[in-house]
Every structure is written in structure tokens, then in C-alpha cells.
Structure 1
């Protein structure tokens, strides 16, 4: 006997192994609702997706998986949104392969909010993370949702910024919605589930498989009006998101960085290819013709008063990573004196110590 729950047939269709999203959409286009698919019979289904898939759709037992998903959806804060649900984000219907359903932890209404995606390197520089959080904070305070992928580095910083304003944030993940990956973002994920939304197209329990993460990038690009790339290497997954955004007719923005930084080269490539160079949140709002916010987010925060006793060292640092020997030459200070000043600046959050004995002004 079939499960009478209104989500049961949707879950049965999407939880059947060997029936991909393309076949699912073909069947839905031909028969309408999932209930009609299961009432149609083998011959009718085979005419649409072939006999082997038709047999799998009708014969595979998904009862345990369906019951588990329904139990999860009944928990407070959890929901399952299908293509037939009014809460399904219209923006995703504009991409070539929208998911048939989404598992959501948090507020599903946020999926339809006017949003901007903020993405970038996992191994971001401290300045890159500061830029991502600053931009996301200003945009969220103006009412724009912040969409990202819950990865370390730029993604995490973007989500923190999104949570700082009423625009909030949506995390699109590449695992099941009942899993947190990476574990280091567990606290952040709980905050997003409480004040934003975490979404996944993958069945509950899905492990962090490598091929799922590039695929989820199409949802990050599809949900937003544009994509801001903060830092990215030339082979970064963020460039995949940017290309997908272009394919969906979305705007692409990039923050330029140091010519010496590997995580700036992807942004520079995007800019050469036509992405909009931005230095503030205002640049994005003007390009999107949005009036939600009029306050710019500076790429480089101010460094303090001109009479700061450490101002000469700050000036000698410039804005690129620099090694100790170079700083000694620029400042004419002894290594011991310079180390003491750098330690003070590091404790004040004005300088970051990088791998290889280099330092960078924040």
C-alpha cells in the first residue's frame, strides 16, 4: 500500500537509485504529479524513459528511505520543498536542471529572497575573509540575502556577514541536509539553521563526495541575482560557479587582489573575461540597480590615526605579503625591534602572519 503522505510519492521518485534528475523531470513533464507516474503503468513510463528505468521506478522498494525522510521533515525547523510547492524558489526554475526537491533546515522563504552569492577560496587570506564578511554584512544589512556553500575560508566569512543583517544567509551544501561538513563549521551551521537556511538536493545521509560539490555550485549561482568572487585560484571551484552564473544570465563580480597572490589570479582572470571589478558593496548595488543599501564596504579597512607610532611599519608593509628581510630593509629597524612591533600589530588584528615567514597588512 502506498504512503498517503503528500510528500511520499515525491520522495519515492527522488530516492529511487538509478533514476537521475533528468529522468525524474522527464516523467514529471509527461505525467504531471508523481502520483500519476506510479498510476501510469510500465508501458506508459517506458515510452518516456525506457523500459529498464521504468521497471526500476515501479519496482524498487524505497519505503524505509521515504519513512526516514518524512520523519526528518516532521522535526522542527526541517522541511522538504518540491517542484510543485509554492515555496520552491522561482529563480531555480531558470537554470537548465533544477532539482526536483530540496531538503531545507531553517526558513524556506529565504530561498525566494533577492540574493547575492559570495564565494571564494577555502584557503583564503585573512584580508580576503575580512573583505567577504564586510561585503556580506553591508549587503545583508540592506536586505539582500547572502548565498554561499558553507566551505571554509570565504564561504564561512560570507555566511557570518549574512547573519549580521536582516538579509540573512542561505548555505547550499553538497551532503545530506542531516550532515555538517566540514566539521569545523558546525557552530556556524547551527547558527544558519536557526537564523537562515541550509539546503541540499541530496538524500539524507549523503556523505561529502567530491563530485557533489561542483554540482551544487549551479544552485548557488541560480538562487542569486549575481555572484561575487572574493578570492580564487585559477583552478578554483569558484570559477565554476562564476561560469554557471553567466550561463544563467546572472552578473559576475570580482574583487581584485595583489598581482603576487595565487588566490587573486582567478579574480583577475574573471575581470579580464568581463566580470565587474568591485571595490565596495555600493558597486554591486549600483550594477544590479538596487536601492537596498547606500553604505559602501571598503576592501581595505582604515589603519588608524596618522600619528600612530607604528605607522612607518604599517606603511612599509604595503598591501602585499612581505617577508622579514624585506621589511628590515624598508624600515631600517633591527630584526628584534621589528619582530616586537609586528607582534603588537598582530595582537591588535592589524597584521597577519602568513606561511613562509611573511606578513600582511589587514
Structure 2
């Protein structure tokens, strides 16, 4: 079904929604960099928020009172620091994160596994409409799509793909939130987790993430410290045209040295004469633009 389809057009118009195809300049550049970006996004609300630097906040549906409180507080702190908050509109931690962002006067993006006109779960109908009015709701599924179980894991890659990093506030084992965290790591995003007591079964998933290399979070400062360089890079992408000036200087040098076999940062530094400290930010910029990918052993060129 194309956007030209009159039934689709009518369904989108009925809820004041837009369809963004992959080549659309409004399509979020960061999401374009994942290996399987949605071909179309259906959006209600402020489309520009999809390209704003964001922190994904996810966690258990059956969260504790403390988990809900922390999610709301961290979301509020993130928005006050200039980040948008992205989550999945689920019960529990997701809902608390969205509310925290709204209460703080910030922006929030809800990624859904249903059609754009169908807020799910029903208990979040009011919250979903509030997000559509003050932020945006987005989905890759066309209008009329019901809440099918196999669509929820697919939407997780969009939550992480839109974001600079993913914070898991509270999660047991197994957990859908850990799927999101694993996808985030595969996408080259930062992964954060709260350090729960070993006696708290609902936090076991967070402890496993920390064991496997996630960044421990005790406050928003821990997140901002890790995201600082990527935050600046995404802002610079927003400020420059996608096809703007750019094949000069360090970028041109690095692209010329990269091929389809992994090249390490040390090898790039030795070949280009550029210090590793200067190469890493430029590689991150190229990665955000979809020109290179991180892989075992270093970086490869994608086009």
C-alpha cells in the first residue's frame, strides 16, 4: 500500500498523521544508519523530534514503585539536559518515562507496534494522545494494524535506532527490555543500566547488562558524560544539509583509507597521520551519516 493509496491517505488524514519514506529528508538520519531501517514511518505529532538527540528509557511492565519513580526522575532530568526521551508506550517503566518527560516540559517520542491511529495498551490512550499533541508517536506499521505479538520485538530496533543510547531502568530475566539493549549494542548505541540489589529479582536483567559491559547509572550525569560527543555529532548533522559540503579534510582522507575489510583506528591513524583522538569523532560522524560501520577489528566503508 503506497502513500498515494486513497484509503491509506484517508486513514492518515483522519488522525493528522504523516508518512515518511526512507528517502524523505525529514526521515531521521540516525535511524537510517541501522542495518534494517523501516522503509516508511507513520508519524503523529512533531516530525522534527525524531531527529533530535534522544535517550531511550525502557524497562519492566510490572515495575516496582521505586523503578517507576526513578524512570520518571531520570526522564525529567534528561529533558532538562536537552535530550528527548524515547520509549515504547508500554505499561510500567515506558509509561513513567514518557510522563517524566512531559511533566518536565520536554519532548518524548512513543514508538508503537500498532497502526498510528491505534494507541496500545488501551490504558495508555490518554497518555498516547498527550504525547501525540506535545511530542510524537511513530510506527512502521500502516493504519489498521492491530497489536500483534511478533510486531513488538520489531519495534524495539526503532526505539534504539532513534536514540543515542538506551537506559534499562528495571528488568528481570528474561525481558523484552534486554532485547532492546542487545539490539542497541549491535547498532553501536550506548547501553546503560541501573545497579539493583542482587536480592531484587526484578533487577536481575540490569545486573546482567552491567556484567556484560553496560554503563552503570546512578544519575543523569553518568549518561551525559557518555553521550556528550555523540550528542554534539547528531546536532551537527541537523545543522548541515545531508548532501552538503563534506568530502574534504579528515572525512575525505578517512573514507579514502576505508574499504570493505575492517581497518583499525591505529591503522587509520598511522596511514593518515591523524591522531586517534581526532579520528574517533570523525568516524562517529561518518557512522551517523551511514558512510561507515563499526565491526570486529575496526571500521568498514558502507558506500
TM class by smaller structure: 0.7 to 0.9
Q: Residue 259 of structure 1: CA displacement?
A: 1.4
- For 1:191 and 1:267, the matched residues in 2 are separated by 30
Mapped to 2, the partners of 1:193 and 1:174 lie a distance apart of 15
Equivalent position SS for 1:289: helix
Q: What residue number does 1:209 align with?
A: 148
When residues 76 and 179 of structure 1 are mapped into structure 2, their CA distance, relative to the original with a 3 A threshold, is closer
> Residue 263 of structure 1 corresponds to which residue in structure 2?
202
User: Does residue 69 of structure 2 align to residue 135 of structure 1?
Assistant: no
* Counterpart in the other structure of 1:273: 212
Q: Aligned ranges for residues 224-235 of structure 1 at < 5 Å?
A: 224-235=163-174
- SS of the aligned residue for 1:143 comes to coil
Is it true that 1:192 corresponds to 2:140 in the alignment? no
Counterpart residue number, 1:114: 53
Displacement after TM superposition at 1:69 (Å): 1.6
Give the alignment's TM-score, normalised by structure 2. Answer: 0.73
Verify: 1:172 aligned to 2:123, yes or no: no
Q: Please point out which of 177, 199, 206 is paired with 1:238.
A: 177
Describe the superposition over 1:200-226 as per-residue Cα deviations: whole angstroms up to 9, x where unpaired: 101111111111001100000100000
Distance in 1 between residues matched to 2:2 and 2:148, nearest whole Å: 24
In structure 2, what is the equivalent of residue 72 of structure 1?
Answer: 11
Is 2:47 the counterpart of 1:87? Answer: no
Are residues 290 and 130 of structure 1, via their aligned partners in 2, closer, same or farther at CA, if it must alter by over 3 Å? farther
Residue 77 of structure 1 contacts residue 107 of structure 1 at CA under 8 Å; is this kept in 2? no
The SS at the match of 2:159 is: helix
- Poorly superposed stretches of 4+, deviation over 4 Å: none
CA contact (8 A) 2:2 2:8 kept: no
Question: Matched residues in 2 for 1:196 and 1:115: separation?
Answer: 12
C-alpha displacement at 1:75, in angstroms?
A: 4.1
5+ residue gaps, structure 1, are 1-8, 13-65, 293-362
Say which structure, 1 or 2, has more relative contact order (CA 8 Å, 6+ apart). Answer: 2
Partner of 2:62: 123
| Residue from 100, 105, 113 that aligns with 2:39 | 100
For 1:349, the equivalent position in structure 2 comes to none
Report the equivalent of 2:99: 160
Unaligned runs of 5+ in 2: 232-303
Aligned length: 231
8 Å contact kept, 1:91–1:112: yes
Contact 1:143–1:166, Cα closer than 8 Å, also in 2:
no
